[in-house]
């Protein structure tokens, strides 16, 4: 049910996309009008619809498909994490959500999207200047796609998180409306800004309190900021390493942290050398000043469990000059099969993740790069780059609403940095039609998530 409405800036981030400075831009007023015209075909109230398609694949069947190619002995860990709660299930169900959303009414306006913008994929991390900023922070599924898919995933995760923390249905709805309203208003504001100005929009940790009001919200943010500031490479040493005959080694904790065999280790070293060529020259020199001390396979996250992921310990000119890198296997985005005929713009999926992360984030890890190891594609980033997020397990209703609103702000900023902002703003309008529609959807999809989770638990 997707109807593509291509904005003139809606192009892949490859080199052929640039060099069009002579092209005349369509005036913003025309883009707004084009966005408003989409309502005739896809009314905003239609975004509130949810009913599983008659041919919706069984949840267990969909999970089996997702698990193909993953490390078999780790699949059980992934299923255990998804079984822990409906929220845990939703975190690992990006592919199920994409398949569901593809059956729903769509606007056809397609910027670059996160593809997995649930509430837990926003948080703090360090800018290149070592300042703590707040933004989207997971891009494994990033891809050009429907902007409303990101918003659907964000609001449904907000409702599920609210139920998990004991919020009433009215409080869940309030949090979702705050989220969508913040997205709509910030998107419209940014659409009126020059393209260059949008590229500098950000929220630093110190500015978070300007966007939240309640005492509990401020405490949750301060706690998250405090934790994030301690998550650095040097502070990770006591947690992840030990001395072994005078040499520093990563601690094994099977099955979560295991040591690769000699052949695999050597292949990873070659891959890390190739990774340097994907970095800007200055940062390649910096990373090239370190040498690899040890490598271990480390299980991460929920959705990524079973994919290959490695922790790399590097040392500089002294034993207290350390750097942890992380290699994460990159596979085709779950969004890709449903847009542009399923064609892939990137031959290398690690490159896709890196380029779209840099497109959606205002500032990114300067050590982002990509490589290939034994025909598997990876992206590389810093490990423990001061990353941190709010703990959602027992977050209060007021804090949840504040947090969801800030996430809505950041999602709008990410979309506005890529393309179609004026068209999206024209479609959304100035009233609360979008909030009412997506509140209905969030509640219905939260019900679906709980039913799918129960199916997994029973299995």
Domain boundary assignment for the chain: 15-229+389-458, 233-382
What tens digit of pLDDT does each residue of 179-197 get? 999 999 999 999 999 988 9
Least confident of 18-22, 56-60, 421-425: 18-22
What tens digit of pLDDT does each residue of 130-142 get? 889 999 999 999 9
Is residue 359 within 8 Å of residue 209, measured between CB atoms?
A: no
SS3 381: strand
Mean pLDDT of the 307-336 span:
94
Query: Does the structure show a pLDDT above 60 at 7?
Result: no
Mean pLDDT of the 289-317 span:
93
Would you state the pLDDT for residue 22?
56
Cα→Cα distances 66→150, 154, 243, 403, Å: 20, 21, 38, 30
Neighbours of 4 (CB within 10 A): 13
Query: Does the structure show a pLDDT above 60 at 233?
Result: yes
Would you state the pLDDT for residue 172?
98
Query: Does the structure show a pLDDT above 60 at 338?
Result: yes
Residue keyed to tokens 């490159």: 351
**Confidence label for 16 from pLDDT (cuts 50, 70 and 90):** very low
Neighbours of 411 (CB within 10 A): 28
Rounded Cα distance, 225 and 39, in Å: 41
Cα→Cα distances 120→90, 157, 337, Å: 10, 8, 24
Query: Does the structure show a pLDDT above 80 at 277?
Result: yes
Query: Does the structure show a pLDDT above 60 at 370?
Result: yes
Would you state the pLDDT for residue 5?
45
Rounded Cα distance, 153 and 149, in Å: 6
Neighbours of 205 (CB within 10 A): 20
In the sheet that holds 376-382, the strands lie side by side as 257-258, 291-298, 309-315, 322-329, 376-382, 369-373
How much of the chain exceeds pLDDT 70, in percent? 94
> 171 is written with which tokens?
């409080």
Query: Does the structure show a pLDDT above 80 at 223?
Result: yes
Task: Mark 93-112 as b/e (b = at least 16 C-beta within 10 Å).
Answer: bbbbbbbbbbbbbbbbbbbb
Would you state the pLDDT for residue 20?
54
Would you state the pLDDT for residue 343?
59
**Interacting residues of 170 by C-beta distance below 8 A, sequence separation 6+:** none
Who has greater pLDDT, 8 or 385?
A: 385
Is residue 382 within 8 Å of residue 365, measured between CB atoms?
A: yes
Rounded Cα distance, 186 and 251, in Å: 45
**Confidence label for 3 from pLDDT (cuts 50, 70 and 90):** very low
* Omega within 30 of 0 (cis) for the link into 255: yes
User: Could you tell me the end-to-end alpha-carbon distance of the chain, in angstroms, rounded to an integer?
Assistant: 32
Residue keyed to tokens 């750097």: 323
Would you state the pLDDT for residue 453?
98
Task: Mark 427-459 as b/e (b = at least 16 C-beta within 10 Å).
Answer: bbbeeebbbbbbbbbbbbbbbbbbebbeebeee
**Confidence label for 214 from pLDDT (cuts 50, 70 and 90):** confident
Who has greater pLDDT, 276 or 214?
A: 276
Task: Mark 178-188 as b/e (b = at least 16 C-beta within 10 Å).
Answer: bbbebbbbbbb
Strands in 205-321 per DSSP E = 241-244, 247-250, 257-258, 291-298, 309-315
Rounded Cα distance, 425 and 145, in Å: 16
Q: DSSP letter at 42?
A: S
Rounded Cα distance, 104 and 101, in Å: 5
Would you state the pLDDT for residue 211?
78
> 58 is written with which tokens?
């069984």
**Confidence label for 342 from pLDDT (cuts 50, 70 and 90):** low
Rounded Cα distance, 232 and 99, in Å: 37
Query: Does the structure show a pLDDT above 50 at 221?
Result: yes
Closest CA to 65 of 399, 332, 356, 435: 332
As a whole number, the mean pLDDT across the chain is 90
Mean pLDDT of the 324-346 span:
87
C-alpha of 71 from chain center: 22
């Amino acid at each position: 049910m997707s109807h593509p409405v291509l904005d003139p800036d809606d192009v892949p981030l490859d080199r052929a996309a640039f060099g069009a400075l002579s092209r005349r831009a369509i005036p913003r007023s025309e883009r707004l009008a084009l966005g408003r015209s989409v309502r005739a075909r896809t009314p905003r109230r239609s975004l509130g619809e949810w009913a599983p398609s008659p041919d919706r694949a069984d949840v267990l069947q969909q999970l089996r498909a997702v698990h193909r190619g993953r490390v078999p002995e780790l699949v059980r860990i992934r299923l255990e994490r998804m079984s822990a709660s409906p929220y845990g299930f939703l975190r690992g169900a990006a592919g199920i959500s994409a398949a569901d959303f593809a059956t729903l009414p769509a606007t056809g306006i397609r910027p670059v999207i996160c593809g997995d913008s649930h509430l837990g994929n926003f948080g703090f991390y360090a800018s290149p200047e070592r300042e703590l900023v707040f933004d989207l922070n997971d891009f494994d599924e990033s891809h050009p796609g429907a902007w409303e898919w990101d918003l659907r995933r964000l609001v449904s995760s907000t409702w599920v998180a609210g139920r998990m923390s004991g919020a009433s249905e009215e409080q869940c709805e309030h949090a979702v409306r705050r989220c969508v309203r913040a997205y709509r208003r910030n998107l419209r504001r940014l659409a009126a800004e020059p393209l260059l100005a949008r590229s500098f929009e950000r929220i630093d940790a110190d500015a978070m309190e300007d966007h939240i009001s309640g005492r509990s919200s401020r405490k949750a943010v301060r706690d998250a900021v405090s934790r994030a500031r301690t998550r650095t490479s040097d502070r990770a040493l006591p947690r992840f390493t030990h001395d072994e005959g005078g040499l520093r080694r990563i601690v094994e904790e099977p099955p979560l942290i295991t040591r690769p065999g000699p052949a695999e280790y050597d292949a990873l070293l070659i891959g890390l050398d190739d990774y340097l060529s994907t970095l800007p020259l200055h940062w390649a020199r910096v990373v090239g000043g370190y040498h690899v001390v040890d490598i271990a396979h480390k299980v991460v996250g929920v959705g990524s469990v079973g994919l290959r992921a490695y922790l790399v310990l590097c040392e500089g000119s002294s034993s207290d000059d350390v750097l942890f890198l992380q290699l994460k296997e990159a596979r085709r985005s779950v969004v890709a099969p449903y847009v542009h005929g399923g064609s892939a713009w990137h031959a290398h999926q690690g490159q896709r993740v890196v380029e779209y992360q840099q497109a959606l984030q205002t500032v990114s890890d300067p050590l982002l790069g990509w490589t290939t190891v034994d025909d598997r594609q990876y992206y590389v980033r810093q490990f423990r780059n001061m990353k941190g997020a709010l703990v959602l397990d027992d977050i209060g209703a007021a804090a949840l609403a504040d947090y969801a609103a800030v996430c809505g702000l950041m999602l709008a900023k990410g979309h506005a940095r890529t393309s179609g902002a004026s068209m999206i703003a024209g479609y959304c309008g100035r009233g609360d039609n979008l909030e009412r529609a997506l509140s209905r959807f969030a509640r219905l999809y939260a019900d679906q998530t709980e039913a799918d989770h129960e199916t997994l638990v029973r299995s």
